[in-house]
Amino acid sequence: MKMNGELNLDSKHIKTYASKDNARKAIAKRGIDNVKHVIVATDCGRFYPLFIGKEAMEKALFRFHPIAG
């Protein structure tokens, strides 16, 4: 993923999902689908949510998912 540079995350430490739809369903099930996020693909073709902003930090989502800005 490129955004003003390159972001490299080691996906073995991140919960990934087989499809974008599965990632969306998982965050909806946890009730956090209203928190700003994007679904990111790994090099292996799996997907994970990348949460964005202060609200994600306040909800302590960093314990489970990566957070940007």
pLDDT (tens digit, 9 = 90+) per residue, 7-49?
555 556 778 999 999 999 998 998 888 888 999 998 889 998 8
Question: Can you tell me the mean pLDDT for 45-56?
Answer: 86
List CB contacts of 11: < 8 A, sequence separation 6 or more: 42, 43, 44, 46, 48
Environment class of residue 39 by beta-carbon count within 10 Å: exposed (0-12), middle (13-18) or buried (19+)? middle
For the whole model, what pTM was predicted?
Answer: 0.72
For residues 18 and 68, what is the distance between their CA atoms, to the nearest angstrom?
Answer: 22
Q: Where are the domains of the chain?
A: 11-68
For the chain, what is the total number of helices (H) and then of strands (E)?
Answer: 2, 3
